[in-house]
Structure 1
Amino acid sequence: MKEYNFKKIDAFATKKSDGNPAGYVLLNSLNDISENEMLQIAKELKGFVNEVGYVAKVGECEFDLRYYSSEREVDFCGHATVAILYDLIKANISLANAPTLTINTNKGTLKVENRLIESDSVFIMSPKPETKDISIDVSELAGKLKIDRLKIDMNNPISVINAGLSTLIVPITDLESILSITPALNELKDYCFRLGIDIIEVFTSEVSDKTSDYRTRVFAPTFGYLEDPATGSGNSAFGYYLAINNMWPTETLTIEQNGLKDNFNVVKLQKQVDEDNIQRVCFGGGAITRIEGKYMIYK
């Protein structure tokens, strides 16, 4: 039997919403667990959490991170990163006064800003964006999303941007239409694999709360579940999309996310210039620990 320290934490949760559940395994070294065991734990937790993050401290304020869904390894998982880093800072006195931390992921080394004192949140610098040219048949896309073709807003572009995950970004005309989207898991999964994308993010500028800027929903069938209720990587790709298309109206963007009109999760986005003078999107939020204990794998 092998035993690991485990937590279940909900990222981006609010008083009115449940956030996005992530599993969190704390290790002395990532070498303490095999890739098969990482996948096994994620498979066993399917339906309970969307992804599991595995983290090990490698420096005073530096951590290695890997992520798995029930289907496969995930190059970068934003909500799990928020959950894990929020908990690490809150649970460790040595990190409480550290203004920044560093994480090493499959998508590179990223900066984490500790804002627990001022806003009860952490902000993660997303990976450098990559764009991908894909020809999209709008009628086919509407069919896969189970939405009227005219509800896809052709006044704005459909784009593919990778800010951790390859994200197809689709503009929708209004809030009612975005809330009505009900795709089929396997049909959408086949569509995503055929296009070579990880997730689909739909958005509209019509919001439930007038203090918000956009409503999004994210579908992630390639990772074994239909909808991701609150995302860092998907909304970071969306942030780059907004910046490219001059659609970023304020310093800090407030994103409503999920398919519930009023009980939505909240993701914050900000811009920041990195050490190479490249504009990056940072995503932020808090988290709530729901379960803490030991996870056991029996051989």
Structure 2
Amino acid sequence: MKEYNFKKIDAFATEKSDGNPAGYILLDKLDDISESEMLQIAKELKGFVNEVGYVAKVGEREFDLRYYSSEREVDFCGHATIAILYDLIKSDNSLANIPTLTINTNKGILSVENRFKESDSVFIMSPKPQTKDTIINVGELANKLGIDKLKINTDLPISVINAGLSTLIVPITDLESILTIKANLDQLKEYCFSMEIDIIEVFTSNVREKINDYRTRVFAPTFGYIEDPATGSGNSAFGYYLINNNLWSTETLTIEQNGLIDNFNIVKLQKQIDENNNQRVCFGGGAITRIEGKYIINYMR
């Protein structure tokens, strides 16, 4: 039998929404748990959380991070990163006044800004973006999403950008259309694997509340579930898409995310110049701890 410190935390939650649930295992070092055990825990938690993050402190302000869904290891999980770093800063007094932390992930070394005092949030620098030239059949894509192909806005490009996860970004004409999408898990999973993408993010500039900038929805069938209700990596890819297409003119973007007209989650995006003078997208938000305790793995003799 093994036991680990465990929390269930909802990232990007608001007073009106539930956020995105993440499991969180705190370790002395990542070697304290095997890859098979990481996957086992994520499988056991399927339907309860979307991903599980495993974190270990390796320096005064530095952490190692890995992520698993019920299906496989996830190279980078934005909402789990928000959940974990928010909780670490909130619960560890030694981190409270440190302005910037560092995390080591499969997608590189990333910075974390501590904005607890200003806005009760943390901001994560997304991985360096990679674009992929992909030819998309609009009719086929519309069919897989369960939407009329005329509701895909062909005035804007469909693009594949990886800012942690390979993300197919699809413009939709209006809010009503984006809310009516009802994709089939198995069909969309097959489509994503055939296109060599991890997730699909649809968006529109038609929003429920005028103070916000965009509405998005993210479908993640390759990780074992149909929809991700609030994302860091997907919206970071979307941020790079907006930059590439000259659609981002403000300092901060506020994104409504999920398929509920009123009870949407909120994800913030900001631009930042990194140490190599490259423009990067940072995603930010807060989190709510729902459960705290021990996670026990039993082994059959």
TM-score when normalising by structure 2: 0.99
Give the CA deviation at 1:250: 1.0
Q: How well do the aligned residues superpose, as a CA RMSD in angstroms?
A: 0.3
Match of 2:278 in 1: 278
Q: How does 1:24-63 map to 2 (within 5 A)?
A: 24-63=24-63
Point out where structure 2 has 5 or more consecutive residues left out of the alignment: none
Match of 2:99 in 1: 99
Letter in 2 for 1:295: Y
Point out where structure 1 has 5 or more consecutive residues left out of the alignment: none
Match of 2:234 in 1: 234
Match of 1:290 in 2: 290
Match of 1:206 in 2: 206
Match of 1:139 in 2: 139
Q: How does 1:1-299 map to 2 (within 5 A)?
A: 1-299=1-299
Tell me the secondary structure at the aligned position of residue 22 of structure 1: strand
Question: In structure 1, what is the Cα distance between the partners aligned to 2:190 and 2:133?
Answer: 19
Letter in 1 for 2:41: I
Tell me the secondary structure at the aligned position of residue 36 of structure 1: helix
Q: Deviations over 1:161-200 (max 9, x none)?
A: 0000000000000000000000100000000000000000
Number of residue pairs the alignment of both structures matches: 299
Question: In structure 1, what is the Cα distance between the partners aligned to 2:249 and 2:208?
Answer: 17
Displacement over 2 Å in runs of 4+: none
Tell me the secondary structure at the aligned position of residue 240 of structure 2: helix
Percent identity reads 81
Question: In structure 1, what is the Cα distance between the partners aligned to 2:39 and 2:116?
Answer: 31
Letter in 1 for 2:219: F
Question: In structure 2, what is the Cα distance between the partners aligned to 1:116 and 1:209?
Answer: 25
Tell me the secondary structure at the aligned position of residue 17 of structure 1: coil
Letter in 2 for 1:204: T
Question: In structure 2, what is the Cα distance between the partners aligned to 1:116 and 1:47?
Answer: 30
Question: In structure 1, what is the Cα distance between the partners aligned to 2:222 and 2:248?
Answer: 29
Question: In structure 2, what is the Cα distance between the partners aligned to 1:289 and 1:149?
Answer: 40
Tell me the secondary structure at the aligned position of residue 209 of structure 1: coil
Give the CA deviation at 1:249: 2.8
Question: In structure 2, what is the Cα distance between the partners aligned to 1:7 and 1:37?
Answer: 17
Q: Deviations over 1:183-227 (max 9, x none)?
A: 100000000000000000000000001000000000000000000
Question: In structure 1, what is the Cα distance between the partners aligned to 2:73 and 2:152?
Answer: 31
Question: In structure 2, what is the Cα distance between the partners aligned to 1:209 and 1:25?
Answer: 36
Question: In structure 2, what is the Cα distance between the partners aligned to 1:91 and 1:168?
Answer: 36
Question: In structure 2, what is the Cα distance between the partners aligned to 1:28 and 1:208?
Answer: 44
Question: In structure 1, what is the Cα distance between the partners aligned to 2:2 and 2:289?
Answer: 23
Letter in 2 for 1:123: F
Q: Deviations over 1:121-165 (max 9, x none)?
A: 000000000000111000000000000000000000000000000
Give the CA deviation at 1:54: 0.1
Q: Deviations over 1:229-252 (max 9, x none)?
A: 000000000000000000013110
Question: In structure 2, what is the Cα distance between the partners aligned to 1:46 and 1:3?
Answer: 19
Question: In structure 1, what is the Cα distance between the partners aligned to 2:116 and 2:259?
Answer: 28
Question: In structure 1, what is the Cα distance between the partners aligned to 2:66 and 2:149?
Answer: 38
Question: In structure 2, what is the Cα distance between the partners aligned to 1:137 and 1:282?
Answer: 31
TM-score when normalising by structure 1: 1.00
Question: In structure 1, what is the Cα distance between the partners aligned to 2:211 and 2:246?
Answer: 19
Question: In structure 1, what is the Cα distance between the partners aligned to 2:261 and 2:128?
Answer: 32
Question: In structure 2, what is the Cα distance between the partners aligned to 1:13 and 1:150?
Answer: 33
Question: In structure 1, what is the Cα distance between the partners aligned to 2:294 and 2:212?
Answer: 39
